[in-house]
Amino acid sequence: MSSKDLRVACVVPTYNDVLCLTRLLDSLAVQDAEFDLLIVDSSSSDGTTELAKARSPHVVVISSEEFNHGATRQKMVDAYPNYDIYIFLTQDVYLEDKKILNKIKDAFTDPEVAAVCGRQLPHYDANLLAQHARLFNYPDKTQMISKNDISYLGIKAAFISNSFSAYRRCALKHVSGFPEHVILSEDMYVAAKLILADYKLVYLADATCRHSHNYTLIEEFGRYFDIGVFHARESWIQKEFGGVRGEGVKYMMSELKFLGVNNFHLWPFAILRNALKFLAFKLGEYEAYLPISIKRKIGMHKRYWNGPFAKEGPSQCS
């Protein structure tokens, strides 16, 4: 099947950010590619729901308590099954030019390609640490990844972002879709499953969006605690792909180099930030020993700890 024949849906989960959603929808409106826009809104109260309904005939409204990173995305795939490719975008991104979606579609002309991840550039108001995070994780070189690459890429072989990525429906179905039980990183979970099922992933450097976060120390701590929880419960990923600790050292050294001597005054803060991220990750790995009340306080995704999977132990998936 040529890329022209692929039926494409852009899926956007939304919640209370009408300005960012407007910017994203405007960037989608000028795209050369044909696609349908599917929006799932978590009962926004700032006009986001109304904007979504004004810009798309395909809007699903759920309660904010119902939202789950994996289950909500799979809900949209199941509710709208007549597409070959689903491109998932978070509301705080926007596309860099009008040819982006066609570039994503073209990457799927290889039938072995199951997922495509675009490149993220920092927002123009990103601070230096947020800029480095995008440049470190999203290089300027396109790469096709298969199971054979695990030996040298390690856990980076399963890297993909839920903010701007696309999936082939039949491949997604083959690995049972997005998980509903994970706190976050449903994208890495699916990517790992796809790689182990002998599909290929593509990192497409010339399909760019703008996306970054100026996280506070507290926000970063909560995020990395949740990542630790994910890896503790999905230990099969590190077993199959290798651990994440070496990546942390590479990241910190790269960050200090990026800051350079001109920003030497930021080095102590950067070192502290990375130390707290490591501590949060380790704490998340041992979350089984913490009461849910504590996990709800320190984690970023607090609603997860009110849900049905909060008390579950590590997954036995492999």
Residue 61: DSSP 8-state: E
d(CA 19, CA 169): 30
| Cα gap 256→259, rounded to integer Å | 5
Residue 154: give the domain boundaries.
3-210
pLDDT-derived band at 244, boundaries 50, 70, 90: confident
Per residue in 136-195, pLDDT (tens digit) is 999 999 999 999 999 999 999 999 999 999 999 999 999 999 999 999 999 999 999 999
If asked whether residues 149 and 118 sit together in one domain, one would say yes
Indicate whether 241 and 125 sit together in one domain: no
Measured distance CA(28)–CA(90) in Å, rounded: 12
β-pair type (143-145, 113-121): unpaired
Domain CATH for 200:
3.90.550.10
Whole-number percent of the chain with pLDDT over 90: 93
- Per-residue confidence (pLDDT) for residue 317, from 0 to 100: 47
Residues 187, 88, single domain; the answer is: yes
Confidence category of residue 316, pLDDT binned at 50, 70, 90: very low
Position 318 pLDDT exceeds 70:
no
Inter-residue contact 164 to 117 (CB < 8 Å):
yes
Whether residues 52 and 198 share a domain: the answer is yes
Q: What is the mean pLDDT of the chain?
A: 95
Q: Taking 90 as the threshold, does the pLDDT of residue 241 lie above it?
A: yes
Select from 192, 210, 228 the last residue of a domain.
210
Torsion of CA 270, 135, 114, 6, to 10 degrees: 140
Block residue for tokens 């199941």 = 78
Residue 227 and residue 128 in one domain: no
Residues 200 and 228 in one domain: no
pLDDT exceeds cutoff 60 at 41: yes
Q: Is the pTM of this model over 0.85?
A: yes
Task: Burial-class residue 4 by CB neighbours within 10 Å (0-12, 13-18, 19+).
Answer: exposed
State the alpha helices, DSSP H only, in 138-266: 150-153, 169-174, 186-196, 217-233, 235-241, 245-259
- Dist. CA 146–CA 47, nearest whole Å: 43
What is the number of structural domains in the chain?
2
Same domain flag for 301 and 153: no
Sign of the alpha-carbon dihedral angle for 14, 20, 21, 25: negative
